[in-house]
Structure 1
Amino acid sequence: MPTRTPLPVNRAMRNVARNLDLARRQQRITVELLADRAGLSVPTVRKLLNEGAGSFESFLRVARILGLLDYVEKATDPLNTPMGKLRAYDDVPKRVRGQ
């Protein structure tokens, strides 16, 4: 049974959609050209840019065309979080023994 989308997720979807649309407008790319370059339909891209709705693949395709794909990858790297850094430090051996 589907559940309601949590408010923080809805807020993030709208913010990401606004950010993508701003990047598109800054680069003077029309929605039609963005859709063509991303291999998506115009309605799909409009829905992504207006509501933040769509598939993860569509989001990544649009991010790639707008030059944001590397930043998306880095933003989701767990080693860039305080917990990830702590765990990485904890996983390092205290001593390395010779053979």
Structure 2
Amino acid sequence: MAGRTPIPVARAMRNVAANIDLARRQQRITVELLAERANLSVPTVRKLLNEGAGTFENFLRVARILGMLENVVGATDPLRTPIGRARAEQDVPKRVRG
């Protein structure tokens, strides 16, 4: 059930959006060109860049165009976390049932 966005999540959304927009500007790519290359509408890209709002797929499309996709994938690698490293040697179940 979706509810209000937690403050740390909203802050992260804004920070990620600002980082993506900075990368876009550093590469001298217009919003229009980014939208075209990502096969997205300009309003969708603007919303992603300004608010961090949008789908996960759209975020990944934009990250790919800006050369950030590998970093996004790496950032979600569980082996980069203390728990992930500690459990790497243990038998990890394929599914966790409640």
TM-score (norm 2): 0.90
- 1:3 Cα deviation after fit: 0.8
Aligned equivalent of 2:46: 46
1:13 aligns with 2:13: yes
Q: How does 1:1-99 map to 2 (within 5 A)?
A: 2-91=2-91
Amino acid in structure 1 at the alignment position of 2:73: E
Distance in 2, matches of 1:51 and 1:7, equals 14
Please list every run of at least 4 consecutive aligned residues from structure 1 whose deviation after the TM superposition is greater than 4 angstroms: none
User: Any unmatched runs of 5+ in structure 2?
Assistant: 92-98
**Number of residue pairs aligned between Structure 1 and Structure 2:** 91
User: Any unmatched runs of 5+ in structure 1?
Assistant: 92-99
Distance in 2, matches of 1:73 and 1:34, equals 20
Greater C-alpha Rg: 1
TM-score (norm 1): 0.89
Q: How much identity, in percent, do the aligned residues show?
A: 77
Amino acid in structure 1 at the alignment position of 2:48: L
Distance in 2, matches of 1:2 and 1:60, equals 22
